[in-house]
Amino acid sequence: MNRLHNKVAIITGGARGMGAATSRLFVAEGAKVAIADLLDEAGEALAAELGDAARFYHHDVTSEEGWANLVAAVEADLGPVDILVNNAGILLFRTLLDTTLEDYEKVLNVNLVGEFLGIKAVAPGMIARGNGSIVNISSVDGMKGANGLAAYSSSKWGVRGLTRVAALELGHRGVRVNSVHPGGVDTVMTNHEGRSRDSVSERFRNIPLQRVGGPEEVAKATLFLASDDASYLAGAEIAVDGGMLTGHYYEGLPGAPGVSS
């Protein structure tokens, strides 16, 4: 407990899903949290739930002016920003040939440009104080290809490259930059029908842990990277994916579930 005692954190997309789980965990660990999101009702409700340690800020991650205003407001309300979690993102299932330029640019603007602008907005203050942690939320689809995810995969591969460059340029100035790569996670974005977690897990029976992940499990990896426990990590990539990147079981072959060697 208290791994983030008196730290001030901005969490984008913080009103629901992985962002909300991260907001709750950070507050439990002693942080003051700025929940930044376009979802006003959900964001205000979460801030009210978390009490004095959290505030909601309406924020569009694609706006450079919006980022400047957000950082200024958070510093005035909560104090200098110690942690940025670039979590806001959107998902688009569409084949490459069916993806329009407008589709492609929208996904990149939120998922990649938004993180670029966030780093630029908080880094100067962190550098001036000689300390800070930035955690960029990418995806397993930033480490592999996936059909139907042309725009999304492109954006998440971009986040991976952005993270490494930022780690190189900011690490020697006291700012650690790392990335988290979730696999299948049970959130509104991926489970908009509201099915049970057990039901959603049926799609993941061929990965090592054989289930979908929970947003709270991703939040724990984010907490680690944001905290001083990760003081010697820069440019690290943590896959929170149930082993998805390790490979898939081939049904019926030795070593697969239910099959003897």
Q: Is 57 a catalytic residue?
A: no
Domain boundaries, the chain: 8-243
| Residue 59: per-residue pLDDT | 98
Contacts of 217 (CB under 8 A, 6+ apart): 185, 240
Tokens describing residue 152: 């999304």
Radius of gyration of the chain (CA): 18
The Cα 212–Cα 140 span in angstroms is: 13
| Residue 195: per-residue pLDDT | 86
**Inter-axis angle of helices 17-28 and 40-50, nearest 10:** 20
| Residue 190: per-residue pLDDT | 74
The Cα 261–Cα 257 span in angstroms is: 11
| Residue 142: per-residue pLDDT | 96
Helix residue ranges, H only, 34-136: 40-50, 64-77, 101-108, 114-129
The Cα 63–Cα 110 span in angstroms is: 10
- Around Cβ 210, how many Cβ atoms within 10 Å? 14
The answer to whether 185 and 18 have CB atoms below 8 angstroms apart is yes
Which one of 57, 104, 152, 250 is the catalytic residue? 152
The strand order across the sheet containing 132-137 reads: 54-58, 32-37, 8-12, 83-86, 132-137, 175-182, 237-240
The torsion angles phi and psi of 181, rounded to 5 degrees, stand at -125, 85
**Which pTM was predicted?**
0.94
CATH architecture of 8-243: 3-Layer(aba) Sandwich (3.40)
Contacts of 18 (CB under 8 A, 6+ apart): 87, 137, 182, 185, 187, 215, 218, 219, 222
The Cα 233–Cα 157 span in angstroms is: 20
Using alpha carbons only, give the angle 25, 179, 160 rounded to the nearest 5 degrees: 150
Per-residue pLDDT of the chain (261 residues; tens, 9 = 90+): 799 999 999 999 999 999 999 999 999 999 999 999 999 999 999 999 999 999 999 999 999 999 999 999 999 999 999 999 999 999 999 999 999 999 999 999 999 999 999 999 999 999 999 999 999 999 999 999 889 999 999 999 999 999 999 999 999 999 999 999 999 898 887 787 788 888 888 888 889 999 999 999 999 999 999 999 999 999 999 999 999 999 887 777 677 777 765
The Cα 70–Cα 116 span in angstroms is: 15
